[in-house]
Every structure is written in C-alpha cells, then in structure tokens.
Amino acid sequence: MSLQYVTKINNFSRLGLIAMALSVFAILAIAGCSTTDAEPTPYDREDFTPVAGPPPFPIIFEGKFTVDGEPGPADSTIYAEFIHGGSPISTTYEGEYVQVILGPVSKSDIEHGVISFYLGTRAGDHVKAEETWEWDTVAQPTNQVLDLTFSRNPVE
C-alpha cells in the first residue's frame, strides 16, 4: 500500500469526523432555538455566545421513566435542554426512553452545566423531570443511563 494512498484514507477519515461534528452541532443549534415559556428561568436565554471551536461531543441519554409512580406511556415525547442547547424530541416506549442526544452550544450552557429533562412538547404542555444531569465534557459521544421521574402526564 502506498504512502499516498494511506494519506488519502487518513484525510477522508478526518473529513468524516469533521462532517459528523458539524452535523451534530447543526442539529443541536436548531433544536436549541426552542424555549419553554411555561417555566421562568434564572438565566438569560437571549445572551448567546457560541462555544469556541468545534462543538463538544454529545451525551446520549436513555433509561426508564415513570409518570405519577407508574411506567410512562408509549408514544410520549421526551427532550432535554441546557440554556441554549436542546435535544431533538425522542418518542418513548412503555416505561422507557432512548436517544435523547445533546451537548452544549453556548458558553452559558457550559457555565450553567445543568441539563433538564421534559415530558411533552416545547410549544405545548410539558412537565419537568425531578432529575437533572450535571454536564461534564466527554471525549467522544457517550451513552448514559438515567431514569426519569415525572409528576404527571402533560395534556395533549
């Protein structure tokens, strides 16, 4: 195998990683534009200073969830948010959720460092989980199991 061929393969690998990171950043930036107006926040969502450099790798949350002490219903929606960064909406199975993916997109997200989880929709009724997650930078996309507890099922 020639050195030139190996160099081309390495360049394509780097381009693939860069493209993946940019895709994750774009998804997080679009999802992060939403706000939950139902609950007042102790911080300013309008003060947006993006994270410098490439976006941090995301955490991929999954686990069990309960609503009022019972396994949560299938086909519900769960999402997570920092201050500016937010996950895409994930559809649930009975008592389980998967693929709630997010990472910080702003300096405030990193400084505040708390991820909140919601059952429902951003634009409609939603309920905040009792649990939160303290952000810590990860060296690669990382799976995390976190069971969530909600006090009620949102009105649809």
Q: Each residue of 113-148: pLDDT tens digit?
A: 899 999 999 889 999 999 999 999 899 999 999 999
Reply yes or no on whether the pLDDT at 12 is more than 70.
Answer: no
Which pLDDT does position 121 carry in this prediction? 92
Higher pLDDT, 112 or 10: 112
Q: Which DSSP state fits 94?
A: T
Topology annotation, domain 30-150: Immunoglobulin-like (2.60.40)
Tell me the domain boundaries of the chain: 30-150
Return the closest-CA partner of residue 22 out of 60, 55, 46, 58: 55
Q: What is the C-alpha to C-alpha distance for residues 61 and 89, in angstroms, rounded to an integer?
A: 12
**pTM (two decimals):** 0.71
